[in-house]
């Protein structure tokens, strides 16, 4: 098998299927639930806490290039972005721009 073909096979078996399975499982588990039910409220809580956990994990144990930026800069940039969001009309865009600016400034000032 050629290396090119093999890389596509890996993409499907190692990249696509292990990730997509959660979406399919979500269809199976979500089909029987009512929009107004109590369990849907619980699921929304779980989904929100899990997204927050993803945020924390990428900041604390970053994959790839972000690992080169010091931990203190990563945490400070997240906090600055969140504060900008709170104080600038609860705009997600303002939070993203402020956080990015803080990250880049911090990385330039304190090494990356």
Partner 1 sequence: MADAPLPPPGTTTDAFLFGLRTAATSVFAFVIIFTYIGFGAMCHDYGLSVGWAMLSTVLQWAGPAQVILVTGLGPGTALIETAVAVSLSSVRFLPIVVALIPLVRRENARPWHLMLPVHFMAVSVWVEAMRHAPNMPREQRIPFCNGVGLALLSLGTIFTAVGYYMQAVLPALFGAAAMFITPISFLTSTARNARLLLEKAALALGLTIGPMLAYSQVQFDLLWTGVIGGTLAYGLHRVHRSRSAKA
Determine if 60 is a binding residue for partner 1 (CB under 8 A): yes
Binding residue for partner 1 (CB under 8 A) from 1, 2, 90, 109? 90
The DSSP-derived string for 54-91 is HHHHHHHS--GGGGGS-HHHHHHHHHHHHHHHHHTTT-
Please tell me whether residue 70 binds partner 1 under the rule CB under 8 A: no
CB of 1 to partner 1, least distance (A): 14
Q: Residue 49, class by beta-carbon neighbours within 10 Å (0-12 exposed, 13-18 middle, 19+ buried)?
A: exposed
Compose the 11-50 pattern: x for residues touching partner 1 by CB under 8 A, - for all others.
xxxxxx-xxxxxxxxxxxxxx-xxx-x--xxxxxxxxxxx
């Amino acid at each position: 098998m050629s290396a090119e073909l093999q890389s596509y096979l890996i993409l499907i078996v190692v990249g696509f299927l292990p990730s997509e399975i959660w979406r399919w499982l979500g269809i199976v588990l979500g089909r029987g639930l009512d929009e107004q039910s109590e369990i849907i409220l619980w699921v929304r809580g779980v989904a929100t806490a899990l997204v927050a956990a993803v945020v924390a994990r990428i900041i604390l144990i970053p994959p790839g290039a972000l690992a080169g930026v010091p931990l203190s800069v990563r945490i400070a940039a997240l906090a600055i972005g969140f504060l900008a969001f709170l104080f600038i009309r609860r705009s997600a865009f303002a939070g993203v721009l402020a956080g990015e600016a803080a990250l880049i400034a911090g990385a330039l000032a304190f090494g990356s």
